Amino acid sequence: MNTTGVLTTPERRQAFVDRYEVPPPSPLDPELLKLLDLPDGLPEQLSIAEAAEVTGLTAHTLRYYERIGLIRVGRDGARYRSYDRLALARIVFITRLRLSDMPISTISHYLELVAQGEETAPQRLALMEEHRATIQRRLRELQAALAVTDYKITTYGGHAEP
């Protein structure tokens, strides 16, 4: 997971906007969108470098995610990858799950369930509830580690925050 993205010219971006149909507005839950806090004012279609910049992943990783079937990405006339808002949101969502240590295999499984439609909601619910429990366990572990760390800091003469 990188943080240093590569900027691309606004020219290429504008080229896409000019050249292609604007797709219908994404059917994205606005509340979820807010949780994912994508920057606003994003162009309709982004190059892989821009998508990397926005998501904080590398272009390599984005290609890798596509290769293993985690995401699908459209192409432009030059067969270059072209990321729309929905793709971006999905990637950020995936990134959140990854940052909470959900294995890629589980994320894949979850996304398959989503693809299978509404009747898999119970399974998805169960999966997410289990993941929440995992996160909460992890939070407790981190608190315990923070306690020893803070203890060490205070005994070394540092000043631990409350």
Partner DNA sequence: CTTTGCCTTTGAGCGCACTCGAAGGCGTAC
Partner DNA sequence: GTACGCCTTCGAGTGCGCTCAAAGGCAAAG
Residues interacting with a second copy, by CB under 8 A? 29, 31-32, 35-36, 93, 96-97, 99-100, 121-122, 124-125, 128-129, 131-132, 135-136, 138-139, 141-153, 155-158, 160
Name, in order, each residue with C-beta under 8 angstroms of 55's C-beta and a sequence gap of 6 or more: 62, 88, 91, 92, 95
Quote the CA–CA distance of 134 and 149 in Å, as a whole number.
22
Angle at 155 between CA 150 and CA 157, to 5 degrees: 100
Nearer to a second copy, 86 or 160 (CB): 160
Q: How far is the CB of 94 from DNA (least distance, A)?
A: 9
Q: For binding to DNA (CB under 7 A), which residues are involved?
A: 1-2, 6, 8, 11, 15, 47-50, 58-61, 63-64, 67, 75, 77-81, 98, 103-105
